[in-house]
Structure 1
Amino acid sequence: MTTRVIVWRHGNTDWNAGGRVQGQTDVPLNDLGRRQAAEAATLLAALQPDAIVASDLRRAADTAAALAAVTGQTVSHDQRLRERFFGAWQGLTTAEVAAQRPEEFARWRAGEDVVGGDVETLDDLGKRVADGLQDAARLAPGGLVVAATHGAAARQGIGHLLGWPIQQVRTLRALQNCHWVELTSDDDRGWQLSAYNVGAFSDRPVPPPV
């Protein structure tokens, strides 16, 4: 029995557009993000998901709600699918972080696990998101679950599920807004990556996954 999980990044926000670090700040979708969510929802609804789960942050919850509006399903929410907590960085642009907290910024750019500034470690992030995705899969064994989450959370959670070391996870390109990853899980092969960065906006720039 194979279970499929779609890990779906939320639509665009004004902070995405401005290169501002969101982390767990509850920033809503902008007009573009709402259009992205509606268009992606049409594509995902055609896959006939059996369950929908989302981070409780509005940008992910409202992205999931666009799919639920098409399918008639309800969305369950899981705080473990929240974005990485970026501590003192939240609300700053990446340029401001680089100028004001250069040592931390250098560690982040290098992909180090511990950055400082109360930024959540990659290991902690990967574990909590992977736990959330595991439980999401249990909502529809043998079926398809869509989990709406965030850029850094998606990448690190997926890497943890697949058993990849941090440096290997860094080889994954950042997910574009409203793009998704497809994972499969079965008793014989465990978790496998089936598709990555799928969506309707492949020609658009990739905002940083923060």
Structure 2
Amino acid sequence: MTRLLIWRHGQTAWNASDRVQGQTDVELDEVGVAQAERAAAWLVSYKPDLIVSSDLSRAARTAAALAALTGHQVEYDERLRERHFGPWQGLTGAEIAEQYPEHYPHWRAVGEIAGLPVESTVDLGKRVTAALKDIAARVGDGTAVVATHGGAARHGVAGMLEWPHEVAHTVGALSNCHVTELRHNPHRGWQLRAHNIGAR
């Protein structure tokens, strides 16, 4: 049985202030570090065989908390990075609504941003899904923990489950340091076993 535990990073100050991070390299704040350590203590019970992370520091620091408990080295894959939001990176939701009133409602409704140098969710899904498939192939019948980002997780999961692109927008966001669990069934393929679960 192949199992992927797709783990969103802990909180950053930009998360707390509703600021779009995209691929800006923002560190965890104190809350995020504590979340990562608490989640790692819970995830270690899954006995992971492999830990792979986005190379952005908020995900890497989150993964490091689990590595410290398992003895595994964290491996990094830039394909697990968050969506690139171009000129919106660093802006709050309120600032985007004010500065881009023609784009903001459509983004909130369906996630797409036409006419700006922002990565499409289709491209995001393709690159994250490719990374997840490679990780799954490497871990074989084991368990891999994949530290990544909210949007990356959503669209990567949709790709692994072969959902139509539009379905990804109906999936609720992962909370900081929460997990989506996928397992591969030899007869039915990839299955969603749990979503937005975390340490209690």
TM-score (structure 1 length as normaliser): 0.92
Contact in 2 for aligned 1:24/1:83 (Cα 8 Å): yes
Query: What letter corresponds to residue 134 of structure 1 in structure 2?
Result: K
What's the counterpart of residue 37 of structure 1? 36
Q: Shift of residue 112 of structure 1?
A: 4.7
Aligned residues: 200
- Map of 1:29-178 to 2, 5 A cutoff? 29-178=28-177
User: Is the Cα–Cα contact under 8 Å of residues 22 and 84 in structure 2 kept in the other structure?
Assistant: yes
- Is 2:126–2:156's contact at 8 Å kept on the other side of the alignment? yes
Task: Say which SS state the counterpart of residue 178 (structure 1) adopts.
Answer: coil
Q: 2 CA distance for matches of 1:97 and 1:130? A: 28
User: Which range moves more in the overlay, 181-190 or 63-72?
Assistant: 181-190
Q: Which runs of 4+ in 1 moved over 6 A?
A: none
How big is the shift at 1:153? 0.5
Q: 1:89–1:117: 8 Å Cα contact kept in structure 2?
A: no
Is the contact between residue 5 and residue 137 of structure 1 (CA under 8 Å) also seen in structure 2? yes
Q: Deviations over 1:141-175 (max 9, x none)?
A: 00000000000000011111111123322221110
Q: Aligned-pair distance for 1:199? A: 0.4
RMSD: 1.2
Tell whether the 8 Å contact from 2:111 to 2:169 is kept in structure 1 after alignment. Answer: no
The one-letter code sitting in structure 2 at the alignment partner of 1:86 is F
Residue deviations 1:162-196 (CA, integer Å, cap 9, x gap) = 11123322221110000000001243211111100
Q: Is the 8 A contact 1:182 1:194 kept in 2?
A: yes
Per-residue deviation, residues 93-125 of structure 1 (Å, max 9, x unmatched): 011001001122122112154433211101000
Q: Which runs of 5+ in 2 are unaligned?
A: none
3-state DSSP class of the match of 2:195? strand
State the partner residue of 1:204: none
Q: What does 1:3-42 correspond to in 2, within 5 Å? A: 3-42=2-41
Indicate the SS of the match to 1:102. Answer: coil
Letter in structure 1 aligned against 2:61: D
Q: Give the secondary structure class of the aligned counterpart of 1:4.
A: strand
Q: TM-score, normalised by structure 2?
A: 0.96
- Aligned residues with identical type, % of pairs: 55
Partners of 1:13 and 1:24 lie apart in 2 by 13
Question: Partner letter of residue 171 of structure 1?
Answer: T
